[in-house]
Every structure is written in structure tokens, then in C-alpha cells.
Structure 1
Amino acid sequence: MDLRNLLLVTAILLPLEIAAVDIPITDSWFGGFQAGACVAITTSLNGWTASLKFSDDVHSVEIWVAKVTKVSSREYRLQNEAFNPILNVGDQFCFSFVGRVTGNVTPKITFSFNGVGDSGSVASTPSSSSSSTTRSSSSSTTRSSSSTAAPSTGGSTANKDYMDALAKSILFYYAQRSGKLPANNPIPWRGDSALSDCVPGGWYDAGDHVKFGLPMASTTTLLLWSLYAFKDGYSAAQQLDAMYDVIKWPLDYFLKAWNSNTKRLTVQVGDGNADHSFWGRPEQMTMSRPCQEVSTSSPGSDVAAETAAALALGAITFKDKDTTYAAQLLTAAESLYAFAKTSRGVFSGASPFYVSSGDKDELCVAGVWLYRATRNAQYLNDARSFSDGAYIWALSWDDKRAACQELLYEETKTSSYRDAVTGFLQTWLPGGSVAYTPCGLAWRDQWGTTRYAANVAFLALVAAEAGLNTAQYRKWGVEQINYILGDNKHNGGCFSFEIGHGKQYPQQPHHRGASCPNLPATCGDAQLNADAPSPQILYGALVGGPDRQDFYQDKRTDYIQNEVATDYNSGFQGALAAINHLVATNNFPQTNNKCPCNP
């Protein structure tokens, strides 16, 4: 069912009368409720007002597709925003809102366009029975309902412990948590930290202690996408509960970071230069941790839109587990997206560490996930307007154009989106423009080599599920992950670039907390420069990886090959979930890695 179980409102609109249709309540709790619907437009409007009337007192109404004026506690006047004054015949005006009440009150609600009459009624069937622009979103347990069923590619035997690799990747995200840690914290060497941050919680970005908004949101979106597409892969590895637990941490942070009343989003906590001059535990930081925000006067639509995408996908993810929490996430996602769409401009405050190349890709991805959460066709139309068919270099925290094209193909089956996805992946497959190491890793850049390969492996496995070159993409995607997990020649072979997986793995990640011995021992530059294994095992972290010739140096001071970061693990973890799905469905492909691990 659709996240809000929205009902399609069918109406015949006549001029100079007042429309009145019942609006269903889709969720309620003590002190509030959520309601919404889609109204068919059969008379063109250029500038509009509308009314919401209630059978009981409602203290306030929060809605983001209209300006709100309180007429009385039982009537609110709506007026179009600057971005939606024109409603044309054939459009669907879809909206939702939150009402605040005293106690457990669920009033009867009527909606009317002022100056327009109605001889229609509210349909009694869910929107999934109507046209494709309002059909129900698929359950979070399955892939998108519009995806083509992937053909079977045969069931070869898995040659790696992909379940272990997935479980350990989740542990890495536990190690990156900032704020007050719960009693079930599984990382014994981590404690409470940065409790005085302007917005506590969230994830530290890498081996440092800055909370950068764009890569955190991008990481969250990609991880949630893997849960949406390959939930059975998490279940097969017995990691579903852990994944729900770990992914809620950044979502809670985003809810606290966004103030819909002031339209201000906190997008960074900490100063990169000051932070990078400190080597020690996050629990013992003493440097200033300034906040940076985006607002209508200081826009950052790239990070705002990506955060909205994460919140929307989080709402889909949690709809069957916690409807109240899912409603909070979606309410925040819609208001934040509206802010991003109307306050365009790229956030520059994370320079030189993270500099975004634009905001259209984030707006596109946010539009698709909001469409899947609400089935409001305007979001899908927005996403299509933001898509970009130009050459794509990689899938990364900065550039989500390939993700945008894949998601739009799943929803529309349009050939231009299909061609964009397959064209991008063709550049990554052997014979394309991306270089390969002798042992077969697709090598895009010295910074985050394994990260780029794993991100595209995840996308290839998603595209395979949508019916695109299924056998080829499955084989290639699994082979890239196989290289990362041991099908390489470092240290005689069988070396895993994921820490803690297998018998050989990196001992010296460029990570402050892991380099520190147990308290009360001190930690500082001596630990940075110590040519010895880190006292703490940073389970699951994916290091940057080898150079173009498969050479890798396991040395903490080499912050290129030994960098770890939340975004490094995101596509990697998603690909692992996809591979576990292939094993569970007897579709694991026959692989042929150039340097197979033969322990």
C-alpha cells in the first residue's frame, strides 16, 4: 500500500461555486494527525485559494504546498505558493498536512477550492486502482512495482562469505556514531562524544570528527536504497534488525537538523581544518565545533535535497515498523524538498573537503523517492525535469545522475533513461573508458578506488534486477566485490580491503579512534605515526584501496590508500546485500576473477 494510503479524489469542477470533498486521515497519534489526498483538476486555475474545514478544534496546520491562514480553530485558508499557482486541466493536486489537536482527536475534514464547485465525491478505492500516476508504492520488502522482473541467471555456488562481510560493514557505521550512545552500543572502545554539538548525533564522516551533511545524507540514501531493493539480502545475513537500528541514527539526526518553521537546515558540525590538526579520540575533543546552516538567504539545495531524499526513503523503510516515525520522516522530507526546490544554490561551506558540482542530481533523486512515498505525480515530473543525460564519471556522494537515471527508468520504462544507465555502465565494463588493474578492479581514481568500484557494482546489481543486461551486470558486479574481498594478489592473495573480513586485511586504517589504545592511555600524533596495527579493529571499514597496478601500502599515514569514510562503505554494503539476495534466490552468477583467492 501507499505510505499514506492516499485516496484519489475524483471531482468535476465547476466555476463560481465552492468545492467540498472529504479528506481521509491517514495516520493519527496523541496530539495530532496526518491527512492528505489528490484532487483531479478539471477547470484550469491561475492562482488559487482553498479551505480546510474540521468538525473539531485543530490548533494548527502544517502544509508545504500552500500558505496557511487560520480563520478559526475549525477552518484554515490555503493560498498557492509561488511555485504552484497554475493548475491545469488533467493535473492532480496532491497534498498532505499535519494537524495539531488536544488529545486523541480525529476530526472529519473537508477541502474546497474557493471559487470552484464540485459534483464529485471521494473514491472508495485506494489510488493503486487508478492510473499509474497515482498507483500505490511497492512495499519496502520488494523492489519497485514498476521494475521488470529480472530473469534467472542460474545458481552458482557463492565463493565468499558475503554474509560476514555485510555484518561487519554495519559494525563500521556503529563505530562512526556521534552523540550519546545507547546501552546496546556494540563497539566497546567507543563512548559518548560531542554532546554539546548544536545538533547532537549523526555520523562522523571518516577517520576525523566532522559531521559533513552532504556525504552523510548521500550515504544514508544509498544504504536505504539497498534495504529497499534487497531487504531479503539483509534478512538472509540475519542483519535486518541491525540495519534498521543503524540507519535510524542519521535519520534521527536529520530530523533534529531541519527546522521547518525557520527553514534552516544544519549541514555541518565541526571545522575541517581544526579537526584535521587533532589526532585523538572523539570522546576527548577540545576544539571548537562550529555549526553551518543553509537557509533561504544562504541556500544549499544540493545538501537539502539529498537530506530530503534520505528522509523520504526512510519513511518508506519504516512505514511497516513505526507509522508515527515514518510520518515524521515524510513530513520533514516534503517540507525540506520544498525548501530545496525554491531556494536553489550549492552549499560551499564544506570546501575544500567536499565541493558539490550541482544540485539537479540531488533534486532528481529526492523527487523520485518522494514520488514513491506519496504517489504525488508532481514529484515524478520534477525528477524528470532535473534529470541530466550528459556524460557521467562515477556514482558518488557528489554525483547521483546515474542513480537518477536508474530510478526514472524503473518508474517510466522510458528508453532514454534505459540508454543512459546502460551507457554509463558500459563505460565501466571491460572495454569501456574506465581503467582496470591487472587483477581486474575497475580503477577510476586514486582516492577511494574501492569506493567507486563498489558504488557502480551496486548500481549494476540494481539495474540487473530491473531487467537490464541481467546476466552481464550480475557477473561484473559480483566480480568487483570479489576483488575487494580477496580476489587480488596483495600479500600473496586473499587480501580483503574490508577490515576484519578474512585472514588478511588492513591493520592501519587512517582513523583516529581506532588508532588509540584503551583509556586511560593517551592518544596523539605518536599513534598516527606508529608503524603498527591499530589497537582497535575497525570492523567492516572499507579502505581506499590499491593503485592502478594493484599495489597497496598498509600504512596509517598514507591517507589515500588507507582512508575510510561512511560513503566508502555505502555502495559496498548495498552490493553485499544484493549478492546475498542472489544467493538466497539461487541466482548467484558464474564468476571468473583474474586473481582468484585459493587459500
Structure 2
Amino acid sequence: MLILFLFGIILGQAASLKVSMKTHWSGGVTGSFCIPITQDLHGWKAHLIFDHVINKLDVSTCIAEKKQGGKEFVLTNKPFNKEEHVGDKLCVDFVGHTDSDINPTATVSIEGMDGSGSSFSHTTALYFTMEFFSPGGDRGLYDYSKPLANSILFYNAQRSGKLPANNPIKWRGDSALKDGSDVGVDLTGGWYDAGDHVKFGLPMAATAHLLLWSYIQWPDAYSSTSLTDKFFDMIKWPLDYFLKCWIPSKNEFYMQVGNGDDDHHFWGRAEDMKMARPSLKNTASKPGSDVAGETAAAMAAGSIAFKKRDHAYSTKLLTAAKSLYVFAKTYTGKYSQSVQGAGQFYSSSGYTDELCEAAIWLYRATKDQKYLNDAKGFVETAWAWALSWDDKKVACQLMLYQETQDDMAGKAVIGFMKSWLPGGGITYTPCGLAWRDQWGSTRYAANTAFLALMAADAGLEATKYRKWAQSQINYILGQNKQCFSYVIGFGKKFPRNPHHRSASCPMIPAPCSEANLHSSGPSPHILVGALVGGPDAKGAYTDKREDYVHNEVACDYNSGFHSALAGLIHLTHTKSLPRADTPKCPCSVH
């Protein structure tokens, strides 16, 4: 039985929608509503009425006017969402500030929805996006489809460039529209890396690669949750950017836009950036086999994903992947050593793992034996420290095992997993999170959970790995002593102060500066779907925007987590998800 905190009421004429607001804490409440539009509106007002006083209402998509001493707020459209048409949904997220821990109820209505000035007269629902569990058993503890859908929203919030008409993140606008102008190349688009606004090629390509791998392995995870179109819309954003970055006629590959130091001295919206954004490139004399190889892998995987959906685009990706792989393989070197200013934030430890990934994906896309032979030459036998944006040797080993059943590769994957499972030497928090490093502890656990699910599909220790992966993802989603979710917008308690510039800024034209970094209040915008860095080795975590070690978000942080969710949804969909082991610190809310 799925519990969504979804409250739907069939309403009669002039009735308001009543909602029991159960998401609350000391000092605030939070919620969101989505009202189906049943007639065209050319400007609108919604009345949100509480039975307790709300001191202040934070809402980014409309103007909130306090009435009746805080028991009513009149919500008025902004220019961008003035026009609402039949079939649309008017969705509003809000955070209310209170003097204490209260549990209010509320009603909402839209003026004139039925043409008579009354509220709407149809079946609708007001819902909170915060809590989505199922009980245990073969369906798993959580409904994993919701955080998967929300992860797509997070990636959409990271978009750079000219945003499309269907942009779902209303507090984001066009930005960095002159990227590449310093070199006469259009380098607009792509994803901002984290809470900052640099476009780092290596982690962006690593992110796209894992996301595409999850779709290719588990397409039913997306189709069964109606997320296929949203996935392709999301993943095309970095792929289009990668195509712009590679200029084969000149052997030039642009692998970074923006200067990390200059960017990190600016706290504000992406839309307000005024600093120079230099474009950095690899060439034959300044090679970057790592970033070029990883990007080739992502484009080759993209060509497979798009083959049935858009054959011409698939061919374009494959052609680019082939030539970029030749460039990466011919002119070898680490990008962070070749180009001054490129490795300060994402320094590369090597490039054979990225070349291996590129070779395997090109083999999968073409079935040309030469690529598989290359991969066999690039694969390493050592156990990996982790699966990360930098170290992909275990991913290479697993993919080679998938293709050839190579015994050495299989043993390397099993050895890696042995080092991560209990008793293998890795640190565990008191409540059971496999803790590799203070920088993105949830990221490393989720990446390994994804790899475990992929290894299980390959026939390696299937039940053991699936149970373990499920335990790690469940911990991240809130199955811990504090019942705390490290995914923004999921669960009753989740981070409200991520280290993310744009989310910390109020809507334009209100000013934003470093004062917003140090503000003690929740971020004005809920960065739905983002996975924060996570707890320390003792399981402690503080929701503090200034703490970029534990409260940073990043594209690569979400990649393994997102992909592991897809694997768990596939197992649920195919009724093959094993019952999870009893957690060390079960959340009492269940």
C-alpha cells in the first residue's frame, strides 16, 4: 500500500479543497498543491486558508499576500505563469514560517475556476511531495519512482543556456548565453556542476554515462513510471552540449567553461553572472584522454539509447563518439596536467579507465571487434577504491565481464564488492551507511549500490548484492535513526539549506549576494531531487548552507543514486526485489 500523503476530495460547486497538513517541524510547515485547470485563465488568484496563524509564506512561483493576520494568503500569478489553459496543472510549493511546532489544516481555491467566481468544482488533489513509502516485501520499503522523477527535476535545475518552453523549474531562467564567445564557438548548454556555475567536462560526462547506462539496462524502470520522455528530455541536454564541444576538423575538444576561482567568489544566481567564463580545450599538444574518453563513452551510450527514438540523432552521436575516441586514444595524457587551470577542482588520476569505457560502449554500439580488443587492453586488475567521476576501473571491469564473462574481470568486481560489504574493511556509520569519504559520503554509497545492482544482473552474488544495495538507498531515503532523508523534497525531514547558489536566491528581481549564503532561513527554493553530501563517519549531519563538505549537491552526486533507483524499480516491476534485511536503526515513523 502506497502512502503519499495525497488527499483528494470530490468537490461540489463552490467547495474548497481541504487538506490535512502533516509535514511540520518546530518553526514551520511545508507543502505543495497541483490544481488541474478546467477552463482558460488569463491571470489567477488562489486563496490558501489555514486554521492556524502562519507568520510568513515563502513561495517562488507567485506573489503571496498575507491576510487575516496570517490565516489566509492570497496567491497571485507572476507574469510567466499568468496564462493557464485547460489541461494544465497549476502547481505551487510553499514553506510556511510559524512560532512553534504546529500541525495546521488548510484549504485552497481558485477564483473563477468554474466561471462563477467560486472555487473549482471537479475532482482534484492537494498533495505533499515529501513522503512516499510502501511497506516491506517484494515491493520494497519505498516507492522509488518518486525520487527518480525528482532526480530528473534536479538535473533540469542544473541546466545552463537558453531554457526550453517546457522548463519545469520556474525559478530558473536563461543563463551563460555567451559561453564560448571568447573562442568563437557556441558552447552554451550543458549542466552546471554543483552549487556553483562552472561546466566541468569530466564529472558531467561521467554523470551522463551512468544515467544512460541505467536507462539502457533498465528501460522498464522508466516506462513503467511514465518517465521515459522526461528522461530523454533531460539527458539530451548534456549530449547536445558534448556535440558542440568536439570539433573533429581541428582536433579540439572543449572540456571546461568557467574559472573555478572566479566562480567561487560569486554568490548569486546563474542568471546574474557577469564574470568572464573562459573556455578551456584539449588539443593534440595538450591532450585529455580521460575527459575525451569519458565523453566518447557517454555519446556512444547515448547513440544506443536514442537509436529507436531518433535514428538521425543516434547516428550523429555515434559518429562524434568514434572520432573523439580516436583523438583520446591517439593523443594520450591527463587533461588536468595538460591545460593550466583545468585540474584545480577535478584533478584526474589517469585515463585508461575512461578509454576502456569508451571502447566498450563503442563495441556495444557497433559490434566491431576492434573496440572490444581495445577494452581488453585497457582493463585493470586492481580493486577500485570507489566508483566515482574519476575512478571507473570497476565499471570497466563489470562491463567487460558482461560482454565476455572474463574470469579476471568478474573476480575484480567481486573483490571490489567484498571490500564494501560489512566485514570488508570499509567504515560503516552506526546506522549502516557504507562510508567511504567525508566528501559526498552518500554519493559513494549510492554509486556502489548502482554497481551492485548491475553486477547482480550479471549473475554475481545476485541476492546478496541486491539486498545490500537496497539497504544503502533506503538509508539515504530516510531509513535511519533520525528518519532523515538526504534527498531534498523526499520524506518528512530533509535538507532545506543546500550549498547551492541559485536555490538560495529569492526570485528575480530581488537581490542575491553572499548574505544569502549565510542566511539562517531555509532556501527560498526547494531544490527537489538533489542528493546532499551526507553524514560524517559517525552519522552526524548538520543542515547548514555554509557547510559545503556535507551539504553540497552535484550532478555526479545524483548519478549513481538515480541509476540505483532505476535498478530497484526494475526489480520491483519484475517482482524480483528480495526482502530487505532489517535495518540497524529502523525509522519509527513507519
Alignment match of 1:372 (pick from 364, 384, 391): 364
Cα offsets for 1:71-124 (capped at 9, x unmatched): xxxxxxxxxxxxxxxxxxxxxxxxxxxxxxxxxxxxxxxxxxxxxxxxxxxxxx
TM-score calculated relative to the size of structure 2: 0.74
Secondary structure of 2:551's aligned partner = coil
Secondary structure of 1:265's aligned partner = strand
Number of the residue aligned with 1:495? 484
By how many angstroms is 1:155 displaced? 6.2
Cα offsets for 1:329-360 (capped at 9, x unmatched): 00000000000000000011422200000000
Cα offsets for 1:416-443 (capped at 9, x unmatched): 1110000000000000021100000000
Work out whether residues 166 and 237 of structure 1, in 8 Å CA contact, stay in contact via their aligned partners in 2.
no
User: Given the alignment of the two structures, is residue 190 of structure 1 paired with residue 195 of structure 2, yes or no?
Assistant: no
Work out whether residues 308 and 332 of structure 1, in 8 Å CA contact, stay in contact via their aligned partners in 2.
yes
Number of the residue aligned with 1:312? 300
Number of the residue aligned with 2:463? 471
Number of the residue aligned with 1:124? none
User: Given the alignment of the two structures, is residue 362 of structure 1 paired with residue 344 of structure 2, yes or no?
Assistant: no
Distance 2:429 2:190 in 1: 36
User: Given the alignment of the two structures, is residue 597 of structure 1 paired with residue 587 of structure 2, yes or no?
Assistant: yes
Distance 2:347 2:361 in 1: 24
1:420-499 paired onto structure 2 within 5 Å: 420-489=412-481, 493-499=482-488
RMSD: 1.0
Cα offsets for 1:128-171 (capped at 9, x unmatched): xxxxxxxxxxxxxxxxxxxxxxxxxx962321121111010110
Alignment match of 1:396 (pick from 384, 388, 403): 388
- Per mean C-alpha deviation after superposition, the further-off stretch among 281-290 and 341-350 is 341-350
Number of the residue aligned with 2:398? 406
Number of the residue aligned with 2:78? none
1:579-594 paired onto structure 2 within 5 Å: 579-591=568-580, 592-594=582-584
Cα offsets for 1:525-554 (capped at 9, x unmatched): 110000110000000000000001110000
Aligned residues: 443
Cα offsets for 1:477-498 (capped at 9, x unmatched): 0100000000112xxx221100
Number of the residue aligned with 1:140? none
Cα offsets for 1:465-487 (capped at 9, x unmatched): 11110000000001000000001
User: Given the alignment of the two structures, is residue 290 of structure 1 paired with residue 278 of structure 2, yes or no?
Assistant: yes
Alignment match of 1:346 (pick from 331, 334, 348): 334
Work out whether residues 383 and 413 of structure 2, in 8 Å CA contact, stay in contact via their aligned partners in 1.
no
The one-letter code of the counterpart of 1:425 is M
Secondary structure of 2:215's aligned partner = helix
By how many angstroms is 1:208 displaced? 0.2
Distance 2:460 2:557 in 1: 25
User: Given the alignment of the two structures, is residue 235 of structure 1 paired with residue 239 of structure 2, yes or no?
Assistant: no
Secondary structure of 1:455's aligned partner = helix
Secondary structure of 2:544's aligned partner = coil
Secondary structure of 2:156's aligned partner = helix
Secondary structure of 1:410's aligned partner = helix
The one-letter code of the counterpart of 1:371 is Y
By how many angstroms is 1:237 displaced? 2.1
Distance 1:407 1:416 in 2: 12
User: Given the alignment of the two structures, is residue 533 of structure 1 paired with residue 522 of structure 2, yes or no?
Assistant: yes
Work out whether residues 517 and 536 of structure 1, in 8 Å CA contact, stay in contact via their aligned partners in 2.
yes
Distance 1:541 1:207 in 2: 11
Work out whether residues 487 and 594 of structure 1, in 8 Å CA contact, stay in contact via their aligned partners in 2.
no
Work out whether residues 486 and 596 of structure 1, in 8 Å CA contact, stay in contact via their aligned partners in 2.
no
Q: 1:486 to 1:155 in 2, by over 3 A?
A: closer
Secondary structure of 1:535's aligned partner = coil
The one-letter code of the counterpart of 1:239 is L
Number of the residue aligned with 1:49? none
Distance 1:158 1:284 in 2: 43
Identity %: 61
Number of the residue aligned with 2:159? 177
Work out whether residues 464 and 474 of structure 1, in 8 Å CA contact, stay in contact via their aligned partners in 2.
yes
Distance 2:216 2:484 in 1: 31
Number of the residue aligned with 1:334? 322
Secondary structure of 2:584's aligned partner = coil
1:4-153 paired onto structure 2 within 5 Å: none
Work out whether residues 486 and 497 of structure 1, in 8 Å CA contact, stay in contact via their aligned partners in 2.
yes
Cα offsets for 1:31-56 (capped at 9, x unmatched): xxxxxxxxxxxxxxxxxxxxxxxxxx
Number of the residue aligned with 1:566? 555
Number of the residue aligned with 1:516? 505
The one-letter code of the counterpart of 1:411 is E
The one-letter code of the counterpart of 2:588 is N
By how many angstroms is 1:284 displaced? 0.4
Distance 2:212 2:171 in 1: 27
Work out whether residues 370 and 379 of structure 1, in 8 Å CA contact, stay in contact via their aligned partners in 2.
yes
Number of the residue aligned with 2:204? 216
Distance 1:350 1:238 in 2: 39
Cα offsets for 1:244-265 (capped at 9, x unmatched): 1100000000001100100101
User: Given the alignment of the two structures, is residue 245 of structure 1 paired with residue 245 of structure 2, yes or no?
Assistant: no
Number of the residue aligned with 1:260? 248
By how many angstroms is 1:238 displaced? 1.7
Work out whether residues 155 and 587 of structure 1, in 8 Å CA contact, stay in contact via their aligned partners in 2.
no
The one-letter code of the counterpart of 1:320 is K
By how many angstroms is 1:589 displaced? 1.5
The one-letter code of the counterpart of 2:177 is L
Number of the residue aligned with 1:39? none
Distance 1:237 1:401 in 2: 32
Distance 2:373 2:160 in 1: 37
Distance 2:527 2:363 in 1: 37
By how many angstroms is 1:414 displaced? 1.3
Secondary structure of 1:522's aligned partner = coil
Work out whether residues 383 and 394 of structure 2, in 8 Å CA contact, stay in contact via their aligned partners in 1.
no
Distance 1:240 1:422 in 2: 32
Work out whether residues 201 and 250 of structure 1, in 8 Å CA contact, stay in contact via their aligned partners in 2.
yes
By how many angstroms is 1:502 displaced? 1.5
Alignment match of 2:262 (pick from 274, 292, 296): 274
The one-letter code of the counterpart of 1:291 is S
Alignment match of 1:552 (pick from 521, 538, 541): 541
The one-letter code of the counterpart of 1:203 is W
The one-letter code of the counterpart of 2:175 is S
The one-letter code of the counterpart of 1:548 is A
Number of the residue aligned with 2:150? 168
Work out whether residues 155 and 586 of structure 1, in 8 Å CA contact, stay in contact via their aligned partners in 2.
no
Work out whether residues 477 and 485 of structure 2, in 8 Å CA contact, stay in contact via their aligned partners in 1.
yes
Distance 1:588 1:412 in 2: 26
The one-letter code of the counterpart of 2:179 is D
TM-score calculated relative to the size of structure 1: 0.73
Q: 1:362 to 1:158 in 2, by over 3 A?
A: same
Work out whether residues 300 and 344 of structure 1, in 8 Å CA contact, stay in contact via their aligned partners in 2.
yes
Secondary structure of 1:261's aligned partner = helix
Secondary structure of 2:416's aligned partner = helix
Work out whether residues 257 and 277 of structure 2, in 8 Å CA contact, stay in contact via their aligned partners in 1.
yes
Work out whether residues 315 and 329 of structure 1, in 8 Å CA contact, stay in contact via their aligned partners in 2.
yes
Q: What residue ranges of structure 1 are gaps of 5+ in the alignment?
A: 1-153
Distance 1:234 1:462 in 2: 16
Distance 1:593 1:226 in 2: 26
Secondary structure of 2:451's aligned partner = helix
The one-letter code of the counterpart of 1:194 is A
Distance 1:157 1:413 in 2: 31
Cα offsets for 1:190-218 (capped at 9, x unmatched): 00000000000000000000000000000
